[in-house]
Chain A
Amino acid sequence: MGISVVEVSKRFNGFTALDQVSLAIPEGSLTALLGPSGSGKSTLLRVIAGLEQPDTGQVLLNDVDVTATPARERGIGMVFQHYAAFKHMTVYDNVAFGLTIRRRPKSEIRARVHELLELVQLEGLAQRYPSQLSGGQRQRMALARALAVEPSVLLLDEPFGALDARVRKELRAWLRRLHDEVHVTTIIVTHDQEEAMEVAGQIAVLNEGRIEQVGSPRELYDRPANEFVMSFVGPVNRLGDAFVRPHDVEVLLEPDGETQEAMVERVVHLGFEVRVDLVRDDGEHLSAQLTQEQAEQRELERGQIVYVRPSRETVFRR
């Protein structure tokens, strides 16, 4: 059950957007497709939606091959980055759209729309037009519209990409709660690793049309399959062949065995955490992540000489 993508390839005018991609998404899960722009994550979502036809390969929804089924018959709900709100319709008519197309009785539509508007916290705004809503409200309306037809799959294409940082954080938490309530199999496309880790139970990391790794947020962070995943899911220092996370860089005031001398270039206060940019005596640049307390104890300031050592490093076989 759930969604299966089997060896899907897609090319656009000589550009390979997807290259033999296979992915299984369990029913009821919330999966993130994570990758930089041009990695093929949106194309993969659109292939699953039926808005894009793969050159080769298959898409199965709940064990049924839907590769040749038009989008309108796939029973999906989709949310777009720029809301795709029907501008000439009220919020009510937007949410009711899928039900109106299906010619459901008016009383049923009314009940369902109000139920959904309550779910997305837009009860009082049914008669507004999309242009009278904020970005966050518009995107919640788009979610209600997608959920109205009781889709078996919910597809979100960078749903929070056009919103400002604070609203984005709110909606992420809200989406997580919504998924716990509604349990519909959901795929969210994002280029923001923090968003993917916060929202999704499973993450597929894409790069240049291929899937690099699939796993839980923890697995990806602790056991990245390769350099790309390691550097995409969090900040990383590259020291020769080794990769070190900034929080695994120890900063000492006295030399201690294997430590190397380094000079503090910059101390950046980010609230609870403090980022220290350093340059080692061999010329390598790296940054260390300390707590505010650790930074204060060491009284770090620009130009100071310290001694660094990685407490944990990762080397990938080539």
Chain B
Amino acid sequence: MSRYVLRFGVLGYLAFVLLVPVGFVFYRAFDNGFAHAWHAVTTPEALHALWLTLLIAAIAVPVNTIVGVILALALVRGRFPGRGLLNAVVDLPLAISPVIVGLGLVLLYGRGGWLGGLADDGLKILFALPGMVLATMFVSMPFVVREVVPVLREIGVEQEQAAETLGAAPFQVFRRVTFPAIRGAVAYGVVLTTARAIGEFGAVSAVSGNVEGKTQTLPLYVKAQFDNFDTSGAYAASVVLAVIAIAVVVSLRILQPKVH
């Protein structure tokens, strides 16, 4: 009996906290009919926002994947002073509010900041793509590291050392032994990184300037539509975001190699 109470309690919690709000967004998106929703997400501004969101993710996710795997290797296999500090720093993006990250970038690259002079040299960071990419990379950085670190710990060094004694050079050891062992964790890390990258609002909103059709990502577009009382347009754009996220999860599930 208590087993059922527990089970329905957990399911009910999940439903109310996760499923019902998202479900309502899907439901209300088509309040004014499918045509209206379709129109709302195919305006030039919406399409540009979608394209910008995907572009930022296409830069931030590969960079964070490669850096994340290297960081995980350094944290687990490396022997250097400051390893504990690095381990803590990796979690920083999870600990501090994204808006603060955005403001930090504004202070660094803005007028009077350490790197504020870059704008005068023609390299515009703030209120442009580079700043939005930097903000996105910051907030989505920990996921690959945090997925890969425990797997690296678990597999240990024996397989790598065996490969070494069999004549494999360091990169061959990584490509043939280490990477296949962590592939699943990397893939899951990529899913989480992508989800975070396409959904980021706070940090990006602080550095983007939010110019419609120029520096407006899809989450910013959703907010703008909402503020303009075009709620069904906002919901329709939200559905697009959700569909992208689901597509990423599903495609990685399909690509995932079978585990032996």
Contact = CB atoms under 8 A, between A and B. Distances in A.
B172 A80 contact: no
A72 B167 contact: yes
B161 A86 contact: no
A97 B260 contact: no
A89 B260 CA distance: 9
Interface residues of A, number: 32
Interface string B169-200: 10010001100110000000000000000000
B107 interface: no
Contacts of B181: 87-88
Q: What class of interface size applies to chain B in its complex with A?
A: 10 to 19
A155 to B, nearest CB: 8
Contacts of A155: 165
B230 interface: no
A34 to B, nearest CB: 22
A71 interface: yes
Given A86-B177, A131-B260, A72 B162 contact: no
A189 B172 CA distance: 28
Contact of B166 (A51, A82, A129, A149): A149
A50 B162 CA distance: 12
A88 B180 contact: yes
B103 interface: no
B242 interface: no
A51 to B, nearest CB: 5
Given A72-B169, A98-B166, A84 B161 contact: yes
Given A88-B181, A98-B166, A51 B161 contact: yes
B165 A87 contact: no
A145 interface: yes
B223 to A, nearest CB: 45
6 contacts: A76-B165, A78-B162, A85-B159, A86-B176, A87-B181, A88-B181
Interface of A: 49-51, 70-74, 76-78, 80, 82, 84-89, 97-98, 101-102, 129, 131-132, 142, 145-146, 148-149, 155
